[in-house]
Structure 1
Amino acid sequence: MADKGRAGIDPRWIGGGLLAVGIGALAAAYLKRARSEAPGYRPLLTEGDIQLRAYPRLTLASTTRDGGREQALKAGFRTLADYIFAKDRGGERIAMTSPVLNDRDGSAWRTRFVMPEGRRPADLPAPGSQAVTIAEEPARRMAAIRFNGRPDDAAQGEHEARLRRWIAAKGLRVDGDAVFAFYDPPMMPSALRRSEVIIPVG
């Protein structure tokens, strides 16, 4: 018979309970990814983990923060979440989509949420915060490289450099700054997280 702790609880039950909580959190993360709408791009060319895509016109909510990338991303995420979940305004809630986009805006960092398909700036609720702007992005071609693991600055830089080499080898022209795309919530284990570097091309 297994030893019990001072409270008379079998330690194996505690371990099993923690494992169940962990599995439950992982399942919830997978479900969140599966249920989140993503932009309906059209693949034009796929070579391993790199893809050339045709994106439709997109409507995006964005906010910009100073500071380091990770801190700016967290603050920007909270601000945009308050907008789509109607915490800083009245009216309807807007469905969460994936991925969350993050890119440089001068010396600051911009975070963006893609609005659900079919939504245009004119028919979206006005933001309750001046920090949030709504704008359209035209249809364009984008090159993307997908990777797993913790999407820190080193990993992003490594994959961005590789994607730029691929773009040059294909005779394509870079037509904008790199965008970092995050598909999973923080509870997803790093090894299973899906992230991308996306670069517009001409």
Structure 2
Amino acid sequence: MKHSIRIILAAAIIIIGAMDAMAIEEATYKVLKQDNNFEIRDYAPHIIAETVVEGNFEEAGNKAFRTLFRYISGENRSREKVAMTAPVSQKRKGEEIKMTAPVGQRSVQEKWAVSFMMPTSYTLETLPEPEDPRVTLRHVPARRMAAVRYSGFWSEKNYLRYKLELESWIREQGLSIAGEPLWARYNSPFSPWFLRRNEILIPIKADTD
């Protein structure tokens, strides 16, 4: 009986993890080259909500996630217009924004900038204004990125390992790095480690193929 329960629980975790990975909008890109776990991608322009936090690699991600999640969960000033009704009442109502992937994290002057990509249905003008001044909205232009994909724990050890592998692969391809690396997470913190999709993304010069 206990063995059957364990099997059912394991199956449930796998199903939940798979749904978690597929149920949300992802960043749009075109794959230009693929070599095992390495890719060269052209990313479309997009908008992110970003916050900068202090702390070590793992702490920064957890701390920033809570701040950004509150923003998309309604801690914002909705700009929706409502038709006139009676009686007149007043209430500030936050707008919920659908979760997207990936969650990005990059180093900024000994701190960490963590970001959520906003759904493509929004523009900078239509996104609700964050109530928390630590959350900023900004436009990210189209860019070419080298990427490596891996699964496993959200640890600095894994990040550094795959970052070095990607940097080595970039040099082998004769490509030029054009910016700081970005750590991308595609799953929620509740996803089992073995089902997580993680990536390191490094900007490269677009005039090199």
TM-score normalised according to structure 1 size: 0.88
**What is the count of residue pairs matched by the alignment?**
190
Mapped to 2, the partners of 1:65 and 1:19 lie a distance apart of 40
Query: Aligned pair 1:41/2:44, yes or no?
Result: no
Mapped to 2, the partners of 1:151 and 1:112 lie a distance apart of 16
Deviations 1:68-127 (A, max 9, x none): 111111110011110011045533211100111111111111110000114221110000
1:144: which partner in 2? Answer: 147
Q: Which is further off, 129-138 or 114-123?
A: 114-123
* Greater fraction of residues in helix: 1
Mapped to 2, the partners of 1:128 and 1:20 lie a distance apart of 42
Segments of 5+ residues of structure 2 without an aligned counterpart are 78-92
CA shift, 1:138, in A, is 0.6
Matched position secondary structure for 1:151: coil
CA shift, 1:15, in A, is 5.0
Segments of 5+ residues of structure 1 without an aligned counterpart are 1-11
> Counterparts of 1:1-202 in structure 2 under 5 Å?
12=1, 14=2, 16-87=4-75, 89=77, 90-202=93-205
Q: Which has the higher contact order (CA 8 A, sep 6+)?
A: 2
Which residue type is aligned with residue 162 of structure 2?
Answer: H
Q: CA RMSD in A?
A: 1.6
TM-score normalised according to structure 2 size: 0.85
Which residue type is aligned with residue 176 of structure 2?
Answer: R
| Identity across the alignment (%) | 31
